[in-house]
Amino acid sequence: MPDTKFILDSEKCIACGLCVADCFPGYITMGENGPVYPGSCMMCGHCAAVCPVNAITLPELDPETVMDYDEESFKVDPEKLLNSIRHRRSIRNYRSEKVSPEHLSLILEAGRCAPTASNTQKTRFIVVQEGLSEFKELLWSEMPAIIEGMKASDSPAASGLSRFLDHKNSGFRDDLFFNAPAYVLVITDNVWDAGLAASDMEMVAYACGAGMLHSGYLKRVVSSSPKLTGWLGINEGESIACCLLLGYPAVSYPRTAGRKMPKVTMK
Ligand SMILES: Cc1cc2nc3c(=O)[nH]c(=O)nc-3n(C[C@H](O)[C@H](O)[C@H](O)COP(=O)(O)O)c2cc1C
């Protein structure tokens, strides 16, 4: 039976062995007539990506994510990239306009392309934009009970959240959503996968002129309420790894924010 996970175009294949060398679990071997694929695969796509004659197709992977490299479209100036990383800020003040579908799609694509441990790619993303007012109303109505629950379990978040509730009730500020027009939840039980996806999304948001804010508080609040997770369609057993506010900044930073002295050991 032909293997449908790995299609080799033997007309194109030049048996160079690059796919064998780049298959890090060592699944692909070189046979008499070119590479042989035994069936096991973590679907990392390296074999197809490294092939100089584009002879390999992995039909389970989205073909739109397989793009030919050209320096003009892909190469990034390292100093400029580093400066973008330096200048990115956590945004706590947003303009009211919604995040455009084009920008949203670029940001989510960055999350999808981030590396995942063992290439599971199990991370999923929930974007709340159209339903944000309804969700916020539900969340704030749940807050007194959520805070009581946290106090009962001696959670250190309880005092901060009580202050946030006071701020909200007095009309001073919404410290959970600030005035963001959208927020993104990263759903996975692997916090490293989530952190990497979140970081890449933040940088693409920055490049779009948008900004994000990791909210550990929002994550705690939403995770602790079955009503909120139910509203979001988060299934039993799924974990919220990150919550990020998203929108266009209403604040600009004429300089970067300082950092502490480096802590690096070279041996
Ligand atoms: C995992 C994580 C959780 C965070 N949670 C919150 C939060 O709940 N509320 C908040 O205002 N900022 C939160 N932040 C933002 C940090 O305070 C911020 O990254 C830090 O002050 C540095 O500022 P910068 O991101 O602008 O460089 C969080 C950041 C991270 C990485």
CA of 202: how far to CAs of 35, 39, 88, in Å? 39, 37, 8
Buried b (16+ CB within 10 A) or exposed e, 29-39: eeeeebbebee
Structure confidence at residue 38 (pLDDT): 76
Judge contact between 61 and 45, C-beta under 8 A.
Answer: yes
Q: From ligand 1's centre to the CA of 244, what distance in Å?
A: 10
Structure confidence at residue 40 (pLDDT): 84
Q: From ligand 1's centre to the CA of 10, what distance in Å?
A: 52
Structure confidence at residue 1 (pLDDT): 37
Structure confidence at residue 2 (pLDDT): 47
Structure confidence at residue 33 (pLDDT): 85
Using alpha carbons, select from 239, 257, 241, 150 the residue that is nearest to residue 191: 241
Probe target for ligand 1 pocket from 215, 220, 240, with the most ligand atoms within 8 Å of CB:
215
Structure confidence at residue 3 (pLDDT): 54
Q: From ligand 1's centre to the CA of 67, what distance in Å?
A: 34
Residue type, 260: K
Question: Is the Cβ atom of 216 under 6 angstroms away from ligand 1?
Answer: yes
From first to last of its 267 residues, the chain has per-residue pLDDT tens of 345 788 999 999 999 999 999 999 999 999 988 899 878 889 999 999 999 999 999 999 999 999 999 999 999 999 999 999 999 999 999 999 999 999 999 999 999 999 999 999 999 999 999 999 999 999 999 999 999 999 999 999 999 999 999 999 999 999 999 999 999 999 999 999 999 999 999 999 999 999 999 999 999 999 999 999 999 999 999 999 999 999 999 999 999 999 999 999 999
Q: Which atom of ligand 1 is nearest to the CA of 178?
A: 11
Number of C-alpha atoms within 13 angstroms, CB side, residue 57? 9
Question: Is the Cβ atom of 217 under 6 angstroms away from ligand 1?
Answer: yes
Question: Is the Cβ atom of 89 under 6 angstroms away from ligand 1?
Answer: yes
Q: From ligand 1's centre to the CA of 13, what distance in Å?
A: 49
Q: From ligand 1's centre to the CA of 216, what distance in Å?
A: 8
Q: Which atom of ligand 1 is nearest to the CA of 242?
A: 1
Using alpha carbons, select from 196, 216, 202, 198 the residue that is nearest to residue 249: 202
Q: Which residue has the tokens 């692909």?
A: 28
State how far the Cα of 59 lies from the Cα of 63, in Å rounded to an integer: 8
Q: From ligand 1's centre to the CA of 235, what distance in Å?
A: 27
- Using DSSP, state whether 95 is helix, strand or coil: coil
Structure tokens belonging to residue 158: 């309880």
